[in-house]
Chain A
Amino acid sequence: AQSVTQLDSHVSVSEGTPVLLRCNYSSSYSPSLFWYVQHPNKGLQLLLKYTSAATLVKGINGFEAEFKKSETSFHLTKPSAHMSDAAEYFCVVTARYSSASKIIFGSGTRLSIRP
């Protein structure tokens, strides 16, 4: 079975400072992990994904995430926040090569950026 926990429902940072959005997962099998971003009243956009290659994954808009098996974590980071990064972020876990009906979405982290 798979599960995912986003540890913060809301994160607020100042523009230009680092961003850290935390995600822990549980999976009985080798996991595939994704981060999606959702701007208000919009669909979800794929930021990055981990599917067994390099553990440090680079995504769009300067975001990256590191798969840490020992800590069962897949935290999302960005060195310097921009106002346009304000959005809802979802961590997603699934068992690799499983059917797509078994994808589990976290409850989301709302990122606010202070000027």
Chain B
Amino acid sequence: DGGITQSPKYLFRKEGQNVTLSCEQNLNHDAMYWYRQDPGQGLRLIYYSQIVNDFQKGDIAEGYSVSREKKESFPLTVTSAQKNPTAFYLCASSTTFTTNYGYTFGSGTRLTVV
């Protein structure tokens, strides 16, 4: 079955460490996105990519980095510059970069700083 796979499901980070969250899709979608979700808030866009080798900053990109070397993969690195990284991170994809079709979401990664 086609879908989006995020790994790991739970991740713990020490202060000052960089960590990378994996996102893989086999839907042949062109566009991919990373969102951050905090309790009681909606989703906030971190980065997005319309095509391979291209990505753009979203609303809260500071302290994060991404790459899009393959169509199927869009990993997110949470760097030590991100001051409050504890959150639930969701990866999504869509067939095109226009909004009419909605997103397919992964099951999320919960990152906790220890």
List A residues at the B interface (Cβ < 8 Å).
9, 32, 34, 36, 41-46, 49, 51, 90, 94-108
| Smallest beta-carbon distance B65→chain A, Å | 17
Q: Choose among A34, A101, A105, A107 the residue that contacts B102 (Cβ–Cβ < 8 A).
A: A34
A103 CA to B45 CA in the complex, in Å?
Answer: 9
A107 and B40: CB pair below 8 A?
Answer: yes
List B residues at the A interface (Cβ < 8 Å).
4, 6, 9, 31, 33, 40-45, 48, 56, 58, 88, 90, 92, 94, 96-100, 102-108, 110
A96 and B99: CB pair below 8 A?
Answer: yes
B40 and A51: CB pair below 8 A?
Answer: no
Q: Known interface pairs A90-B42, A107-B42. Does A99 touch B98 (Cβ–Cβ under 8 Å)?
A: yes
A44 and B99: CB pair below 8 A?
Answer: no
- B40 / chain A contacts, CB cutoff of 8 Å: 9, 107-108
Which residue in chain B gives the minimum CB-CB distance to A90?
A: B42
| Smallest beta-carbon distance B8→chain A, Å | 13
B42 and A106: CB pair below 8 A?
Answer: yes
Interface majority SS (helix, strand, loop, mixed), chain B:
strand
A15 CA to B96 CA in the complex, in Å?
Answer: 39
- B92 / chain A contacts, CB cutoff of 8 Å: 43-44
- A108 / chain B contacts, CB cutoff of 8 Å: 40-42
Q: Choose among B96, B99, B105 the residue that contacts A45 (Cβ–Cβ < 8 A).
A: B105
Which residue in chain A gives the minimum CB-CB distance to B45?
A: A101
Q: Known interface pairs A90-B42, A101-B56. Does A95 touch B99 (Cβ–Cβ under 8 Å)?
A: yes
The 10 tightest CB contacts between A and B, nearest first, are A105-B42, A43-B105, A94-B99, A44-B105, A105-B43, A43-B107, A46-B102, A107-B42, A51-B100, A43-B106
